Amino acid sequence: MSMDIIMPQLGESIAEGTVVKWLVPVGGLIEKDQSLLEVETEKVALEIPSPATGTLSEIIVQEGETVPVGTRLARIESTPLSEVINRVGGVVVRPTEPTPEGHHSPVVRELARKHGVDLSQVTGTGSGGRVTKKDIQDVIARSGAPVTGAPSSGERSMGEEIVPFTQMRRTIAERMVRSRQTSAHVTTFFEADCAGIAKFREGRNLTYLPFVIRAVTRAIREVPVVNSAWGEQGIIVKKDIHVGIATALEDGLLVPVVRHADRKGLTQLAKEVADLAERARSKKLSPEEVQGGTFTITNHGGFGSLFSTPIIHQPQVAILGVGAIQKRAVVINEAIAIRPMGYLSLSFDHRVIDGATADQFMAKVKGYLEQSQWEHIL
């Protein structure tokens, strides 16, 4: 009995997805709920589990291809085939017939011709050993790849490398440019003395980020316009506070959301942020976990950065950047003292928020961070 694998609906507003990687080869046995392939959309990258135990009999959509929701991606035979002859990487596979010479798609042949790639020297990763467009792109991108014929006028020199765009990178690029074109970006900077937090963290497994989230949510309650969006009829002030945490991945960025962050204590915030970040990096997030944010925090100080002018995550109207916390000499009560200080930046949409309002919000965030009593919100 065969079963079709289709591109799932990964969120209400998602219309298409990109097949990033097949995790099981054609002919490989797959267990129910075992990860079958990696899919990337404009909002999330995640692994799709197999709906049944069986054999992956056919791959229809190749790696690197973007297709609409509902497109058939592959076929699984729910009864494993008997002609199993060997094991590769822990997966049982069937032998595949070599690709007949010249049996290539027009796109593959044209790309190979343009870049002088000898198709007979390319190992195909597609169904039945078929050479895919991504195979050709990989050959072109690798320095020293076997090529024949004179290079075309547009070909890169051997001292350069072409890294093909991923769907996530294209989406990030489009959204950053669109945000700049949409919002009137302004950034204001504040500095916060984190001595009270540093003392409270002693002996506790807490980073600075939960304290920042807590300070931000308290300040939002007093300056609610920061937690809003631009609407056709007016400013849409959000009653719920869902804080997005920008999370760097190896090949891009995701913003998982801590829902109702204002209702959670430091310990719960720390656990939830760590869990979301780990699952973002391992592609285990659900689409719902990267949607619905009302305010975003980006912790760019993890690698030592002090200042940043982050771009607003649409359709929100503000984003807070957190720089590295470092000990610096400051003047306190007419005396020089050493304190762990951190710079905070707020990029805001000047269509919605005026400078005075932004500074009022940041002054409250600073005040909450500099308080000395944190025990009551653990």
Tens-place pLDDT, residues 239-290: 999 999 999 987 788 899 999 999 999 999 999 999 999 999 888 888 889 9
What distance in Å separates the CA atoms of residue 98 and residue 316, rounded to the nearest whole number?
Answer: 53
pTM: 0.70
Residue 33's pLDDT is what?
84
pLDDT digits (tens, 9 = 90+) for 189-241: 999 999 999 999 999 999 999 999 999 999 999 999 999 999 989 999 999 99
pLDDT at 163: 83
Q: Which of 201-205, 250-254, 323-327, 371-375 is predicted with the least confidence, judged by mean pLDDT?
A: 371-375
- Residue 12: predicted pLDDT: 61
- Return mean pLDDT, the chain: 84
Region 358-365: what's the mean pLDDT? 98
**How would residue 153 be classed by pLDDT, with cut points 50, 70 and 90?**
very low
Instruction: Return the pLDDT at 152.
Output: 45
- Topology of domain 2-141 in CATH is OB fold (Dihydrolipoamide Acetyltransferase, E2P) (2.40.50)
Q: Which residues, 6+ apart, have CB-to-CB distance to 84 below 8 Å? A: 29, 92, 93, 94
Q: Catalytic residue positions?
A: 350, 354
Q: Does residue 96 have a pLDDT over 60?
A: no
Per-residue model confidence as pLDDT tens digits over 233-252? 999 999 999 999 999 987 78
pLDDT at 328: 96
* pLDDT, tens digit, 9 for 90 and up, residues 41-67: 776 778 888 888 899 999 999 988 888
Return the domain boundaries, the chain: 2-141, 169-377
Cβ(162)–Cβ(340) under 8 Å? Answer: no
Q: Which amino acid is at 369?
A: L
Residue 201 CA: distances (Å) to CA of 174, 196, 207, 244, 261: 39, 9, 8, 23, 20
Do 169-377 and 2-141 have the same topology in CATH? Answer: no
For residue 91, pLDDT beyond 70: no
The token pair that represents 54 in the structure block: 């069986």
| Per-residue pLDDT band at 323 (split at 50, 70, 90) | very high
Question: What contacts 268, CB < 8 A, 6 or more positions away?
Answer: none
Level-2 CATH architecture, domain 169-377: 2-Layer Sandwich (3.30)
pLDDT at 318: 98
Backbone angles phi, psi at 62, to 5 degrees: -85, 165
